A and B are shown apart, each in its own frame.
Chain A
């Protein structure tokens, strides 16, 4: 268990390093991809504009599964179709990382940065 926790922390550390310098949309694309590769988690990110959740990066499968919508910041949301093999503890750590990451970037529109 300790080794698994350590492995997750290493993975997250690498992810943070990998996304630090990237623009928001590109960084979220990388995060969604890594979550799929490593945990089989299917997620996408959206920019919240009133009632609209506008797609930024990531995607679900081709078949509908009622998604879970998680507010990360007033500006950004996470939509989860499947958490894959992420444990409840890992989910919490991941969500904290995403909230911090996006809080620093929430003043500008993700899609008009580039």
Chain B
């Protein structure tokens, strides 16, 4: 375990990170694609919308078309509770049409909490002396991966602080280590990455190790707030370096990218529009390929981080459900991730309005999986999580709600990525591919890892979902289910 900084010149390293020329080519007349004034004006202009206008917009979403900012601003301004019910119903319907009743499940793996930045809301910030700093060695990463594979996970999101100790070479090595790890029938088949923005050369290194999705959250799209919460003199203070991080990833050949905003820093309605403008700009530059997923974490308490208690923009549970539903309707074909930041009751309430992915068995302390500590330890966590339940418990609850837990990674391993994937998703056909594979990977999980109670609920759900499959798919899915029963693994369509 590394517990203190190695002798690297942090200041020199920081100066080598940002490449202005990799930002400038995307600016239009020197401006980025977030026009704060325009967004604020849209939100004002669309107040008190007519119910019929709202229903017309809902109909457009149900036709699986992406909304324009003015349409999203209209939905965000709905006040009437009955209209909100219509929005929730429609969001759930869009989710079912595009993705079916399945939830992709993953676990986060935090590798390092060293950070050169000083973000006011973050437990990992440089000046937080109560945070115990640690970076996993490669051997420790392997142990973490073994622990996660033993639970039944097939997908991870690996998370790194921004620091020369966790530079792209370290990130690449840790990902390769995870991919090499096998325990019995189990292995991690897809590693997504949440790391600091990089230049194109570094992103190419990341691409070479075969990452799934590259995720960078803007935190807040509001320029002035961004400046306030990310102190000057840090890398993260550079708004545009972060804003165009995923444009650079696409340029480097990473074609599955993911956006997000940290809700609680500024007005939630503004942030939803920021996410939409980000989507539109990516689609505009990269042949219609926008984000693979959108995340909407809410600020959670962190050790020695009073900002979290002081912010006036905290998002209530009611507004949280609303913002998820509006994002679902605004970008019908993009995956939405709700995480274990949220307590179980909120996840139960919000998943039906459009979420497609969630994490389970979540531990975000560095080394927490292999050391098997169960209590949250804020001295080595970025924030406090709301739902620490085991994978088995989450899978069982989702099954009881009618959702197949999917461990599928088939598309990513047979070239249905980027533009190809987006083409299928935009036509609303992705569930044709994903539901059979979700059923098959769910079957594997039930046999290899589930408790008897979960297996019982899960097997019943598999039969129900099998009955709903297209008739032409049933013979091959049944054959594969039988082969899985007899010990074969990783069968996919």
- Which residues of A come within 8 Å of B, CB atoms? 44-47, 49-56, 59-60, 62-67, 69, 77, 79, 109, 111-112
B418 touches A49 (CB 8 A): no
B210 touches A66 (CB 8 A): no
Q: Which residue of B lies closest to A63 (CB)?
A: B432
B204 touches A112 (CB 8 A): yes
Docked CA distance A65–B410 (Å): 12
A66 touches B492 (CB 8 A): yes
Docked CA distance A77–B204 (Å): 19
A55 touches B421 (CB 8 A): yes
Which of A51, A111, A112 gathers most chain B CB within 10 Å? Answer: A51
Minimal beta-carbon separation of B192 from chain A (angstroms): 11
Q: Which of A51, A64, A69, A112 contacts B210 (CB 8 A)?
A: A51
A112 touches B253 (CB 8 A): yes
Given contacts A49-B209, A66-B492, A109-B204, contact A54 B253 (CB under 8 A): yes
B415 touches A54 (CB 8 A): yes
Q: Provide the residues of chain A in CB contact with B208, threshold 8 Å.
A: 49-50
Docked CA distance A1–B432 (Å): 39
A51 touches B415 (CB 8 A): no
Docked CA distance A52–B204 (Å): 14
Q: Which of B211, B418, B421, B493 contacts A64 (CB 8 A)?
A: B493
B432 touches A64 (CB 8 A): yes
| Interface presence of B59 (CB below 8 A) | no
Count of B interface residues, CB-CB < 8 Å = 39
B415 touches A109 (CB 8 A): no
Q: Provide the residues of chain B in CB contact with A52, threshold 8 Å.
A: 190, 210-212, 412-413, 417
Q: Provide the residues of chain A in CB contact with B424, threshold 8 Å.
A: 62
Docked CA distance A114–B476 (Å): 41
A54 touches B179 (CB 8 A): no
B493 touches A65 (CB 8 A): yes
Q: Which residue of A lies closest to B207 (CB)?
A: A49
Q: Provide the residues of chain A in CB contact with B420, threshold 8 Å.
A: 44, 55, 59
| Interface presence of B176 (CB below 8 A) | yes
Docked CA distance A77–B210 (Å): 14
Q: Provide the residues of chain B in CB contact with A62, threshold 8 Å.
A: 424, 427, 429, 432
Docked CA distance A46–B421 (Å): 13
Given contacts A44-B415, A46-B415, contact A54 B255 (CB under 8 A): yes
Minimal beta-carbon separation of A1 from chain B (angstroms): 34
Can you name 16 A-B residue pairings with CB atoms under 8 Å? A46-B417, A49-B207, A50-B208, A50-B209, A51-B179, A51-B210, A51-B412, A54-B417, A55-B421, A56-B415, A62-B429, A62-B432, A63-B470, A67-B414, A109-B204, A111-B255
